[in-house]
Amino acid sequence: MHAEHSAKGMLQSGATVKAAVRVFRDRTAEALRQIFEEIGKRIDHRGQAWKKATAAVSAAFYDHMRQAPDVLGSSLRLANSPGPSVQTAAQALIDGVGKDLGAEIRAFSDGWTAPKPKRWNERHPAIYALLLVIAGSLIGAAISHLAASGTSRPGSAVAS
């Protein structure tokens, strides 16, 4: 990007700062997408493990965003001497990236953009099958009890 801007005579301009922040945003967004995909594959539900994983991603992301001015330092220096106007404009762009990608992280951790979690019975098939057997036995016993008590009740038979 620097060589391209230098060849076009745009190296010492705001376009270099904008392009550098755009590259930073695109690479950060792609890394987040890969992380979200892995979390979605490895964590089946939205319990404590999900909360811990998404909190760790959020914390790492905000650490990453705090380091953005240092990461983009060479582009800022090439764009112009790091004066207050360049620094202020760059920080505003970085803050916008942080706000947008932070919203994506919150939407994922809240489950809005995350893959649908597995249902309880899919995560615990053996326990689910056991519960179905127990429920079936209880229902069967209740029906047998009702059938047996229905014939011995006084007044239950129709008088002829």
pLDDT in tens, 1-50: 555 555 455 555 567 788 889 999 999 999 999 999 899 888 877 788 88
Q: In the predicted model, what is the mean pLDDT of the chain?
A: 79
Please give the pLDDT value at position 146. Answer: 87
**For residue 120, which of 19, 16, 12, 46 has the smallest C-alpha distance?**
46
Please give the pLDDT value at position 63. Answer: 96
CA separation for the pair 79, 40 (Å, rounded): 40
Please give the pLDDT value at position 31. Answer: 95
CA separation for the pair 65, 95 (Å, rounded): 8
Average pLDDT over residues 64-91: 77
DSSP of 43-90? --SSSHHHHHHHHHHHHHHHHHHHTHHHHTHHHHHHHSS--HHHHHHH
Please give the pLDDT value at position 118. Answer: 67
Average pLDDT over residues 87-107: 91
Radius of gyration of the chain (CA): 31
Average pLDDT over residues 91-116: 86
In this predicted structure, the answer to whether residue 107 has a pLDDT above a threshold of 60 is yes
Angle at 121 between CA 119 and CA 124, to 5 degrees: 110
In this predicted structure, the answer to whether residue 160 has a pLDDT above a threshold of 50 is no
135-156 residue pLDDT tens = 888 888 888 888 888 765 555 5
Joined tokens for residue 3: 């060589």
| Chain centre to alpha carbon of residue 111 | 6
